[in-house]
Amino acid sequence: MGQLIDEIGIIFADAFERLGLDRAYGAVRRSDRPELADFQCNGALAAAKAAKRNPRGIAADIADSVKTSALISSIDIAGPGFLNIQISNAALARCVESIRQDTHRAGARPVATPQKIILDFGGANIAKPMHVGHLRTAVIGDSLQRIFRFLGDEVISDIHMGDWGLQMGHLITELQAEQPDLVYFDDDFTGPYPEASPVDIEDLSRLYPQASNKAKADPDRLAQSQAAIAQLQAGRAGYRALLEHFVDISIASLKLDYGFLGVSFDLWLGEKDVEPLIPDMIEDIKARGLAHEDKGALIIPVEQESDTKDYPPFMLLNSRGASLYHTSDLATILDRVRRYDPDRMLYVVDQRQALHFEQVFRAADIVGYISADRMEHLGFGTVNGKDGKPFKTREGGTLKLSDLTGMAFNMAEQKITEGGRLSSDIGGAEKQDIAALVARAALRFADLQNTRTTNYVFDLDKFTSFEGKTGPYLLYQVVRIKSLLRKAQAEGHKAGDIHIESEAERNLALTLEGFDLALHMTHQKRMPHILCEHVYTLAQGFAALYGAHKIATEPDDTVRASRLAICQSVLLQLETGLNLLGIKAPERM
């Protein structure tokens, strides 16, 4: 399906070419002054400089050449040669109708060159409850995978769990202290080990901080956990069996938290899954002379002559001979290249990890796994409290993600009840489902509408409001359109030919036309806030139409049929955009 902006661009490119000028001067974009024009073309200024002609003269020639196009209602010359373009109502009507018919894509085209992308996000740790800091990686990563797939990329998403670090040693040794007679600690036991886990998620949530606090206060206790890790990594069967239990029950818990947010992964892999690759990987890197010892550690220098700051070396093994996060990340890259041969690898991880990923990407390039320019760290800012610092509980602790989503659900339920927003026949399970959708919309949109790289202040009361730039406001507009269309259908009214006439209709049509550009800019910049801005503007545009005109109750059959068709286009594109942001609207409220 052709895009209106592209069609206009071709008309202007042809006009410049007819004057013997480069077609590139015909580039058209949305107007910086929408109150003056729909689109603008500034090519006359650059063309005049190249051709040594007067820019207003060139602009006048271009305007004269294109003014007969059925797509253009008027064209004016401003300043030294800017061309302000007003689109015809007929062209806008055709655009809105084409979107209405495009039921699978709502007016957006796939990318010209699809890629295979590994998308690494989530980063949850085994046996540790997820906290508010995990919200951003979850919703940003999930939204990007939805958008990439929608535009034609092949995406393989991986949570990349932390399941091979010191916390495993803490859990093993603390469990042994409490239940020393378990077969997992018997050196003479030959198996098989029990299928049922000796602990549940509540036990893990208790055991880890218990052990961690002891280790912080007692070096000998820390040494016990470090020794257990060494034995785990060496392959001790009982410890490996416990690790599998820890991972399984943790994943079951993680799926509940992620499920509330509508987040999913293709792969549920962690550091332990690439551990078997590490010995051969290290030997290969050493054999090729790409790593050397430094103060007992095995390192890969990653500094470059062009660097303007110091870059610490990439550490493969520490001075005790143990592998590190660097090591498992490099092994994960090797594994992904072997399994999937991706075009790109994207990591949605806190901006504060920028140095780590720069080291990893450079090391992967140096050892020949994948070039650094095919890997991207999509860093993000922090979720802060009103004091501007990372969000905490009232007691000063880190807020668990499950507590956060619970708070959002309770607030959403309160808002839909107290606001009188529910129909009198809605109750019980349906009310709970609506509250969950409102809470998800509140959390996801509040996060995604911010530029990814910036911090934002968490304000649950504001986020769950049905007024302003919020997820619940968007849901309300979707439900309003659905209700309107149901009412029209019940009264026998149907959508028909689209006619764009009023200012509200024009503004809405122009917003609908911008969906393709918004999506592709989101894809290109990896910035979901661009799509958020589009869906919010679209919702506002519908609200303006609803406030300015009768729709289902419009007495003129032709006008009513047209506005119903416009509403169908808006609903299709609004729900499509919200789905790409991981937000689902209820059928009614």
How high is the pLDDT of residue 128? Answer: 82
The pLDDT value recorded for residue 92 is: 97
- Do the domain assignments include residue 375? no
Query: Which residues, listed in sequence order, are joined to residue 74 by a DSSP beta bridge?
Result: 86
261/297 Cα distance (integer angstroms): 42
Exposed, middle or buried by CB within 10 Å (0-12, 13-18, 19+), for 159? buried
Asked if the structure places residue 237 within a domain, the reply is yes
User: Is residue 379 scored above 80 in pLDDT?
Assistant: yes
Would you say residue 76 has pLDDT above 80? yes
Please give the pLDDT value at position 1.
Answer: 39
pLDDT band at 323 (very low <50, low <70, confident <90, very high): confident
State the Cα–Cα distance between residues 98 and 569, nearest whole angstrom.
Answer: 9
Question: If you count DSSP H runs as helices and E runs as strands, how many of each does the chain have, helices first?
Answer: 20, 13
* 496-525 pLDDT per residue, tens: 999 999 999 999 999 999 999 999 999 999
Q: What is the DSSP letter of 193?
A: P
CATH value at residue 45: 3.30.1360.70
56-73 pLDDT tens trace: 999 999 999 999 999 999
The DSSP symbol for 111 reads P
Top mean pLDDT of 161-165, 275-279, 561-565 is at 561-565
| Residue type, position 157, single letter | S
Say what the pTM is.
0.94
Check residue 138 and give its pLDDT.
97
Q: What is the dihedral of CA 504, 505, 509, 515, to 10 degrees?
A: 50
> Mean pLDDT, to the nearest integer, of 201-228?
94
Please give the average per-residue pLDDT across 481-510, as a whole number: 97
Residue 419: pLDDT over 90: no
Q: Is residue 97 one of the residues assigned to a domain?
A: no
What is the model's pLDDT at position 188? 92
Confidence of residue 387 (pLDDT cuts 50, 70, 90): confident
Q: What is the pLDDT of residue 222?
A: 96
Q: Is the pLDDT of residue 397 over 80?
A: no
Instruction: Give residue-wise pLDDT tens across range 356-378.
Output: 999 999 999 999 999 999 999 99
Q: Is residue 259 part of a domain?
A: yes
| Whether the predicted pLDDT of 198 surpasses 90 | yes
User: Structural domain tally of the chain?
Assistant: 2
Q: Which residues constitute the domain of residue 8?
A: 4-87
Please indicate, yes or no, whether residues 83 and 170 belong to a single structural domain of this protein: no
pLDDT for res 351? 96
| Cα 247 to the center of its chain, rounded Å | 26
SS3 string of 576-588?
HHHHHCCCCCCCC
Residues above pLDDT 70, as percent of the chain: 99
Q: Are residues 81 and 174 in the same domain?
A: no
Q: Which of 247, 267, 287 is the last residue of a domain?
A: 267
In a domain, 239, yes or no: yes
User: How many C-beta atoms surround the C-beta of residue 18 within 10 A?
Assistant: 11
pLDDT tens-digit series, residues 434-474: 999 999 999 999 999 999 999 999 999 999 999 999 999 99
Please check whether residue 584 lies inside any domain of the structure: no
Q: Which of 58, 87, 116 is the last residue of a domain?
A: 87
Q: Please say if the pLDDT value at position 2 is more than 70.
A: no
For the chain, what is the mean pLDDT?
95
Domain boundary among 267, 287, 311: 267
Q: In this structure, are 173 and 263 located in the same domain?
A: yes
Mean predicted confidence (pLDDT) in 536-556: 97
User: 133-161 pLDDT, tens per residue?
Assistant: 899 999 999 999 999 999 999 999 999 99
**Residue whose C-alpha is closest to residue 512's, from 445, 464, 452, 572:** 572
Q: Which residues of 26-42 are buried (b: 16+ CB within 10 A; e: fewer)?
A: bebeebeeeeebbbbbb
Contact predicate 199/245, CB 8 Å: yes
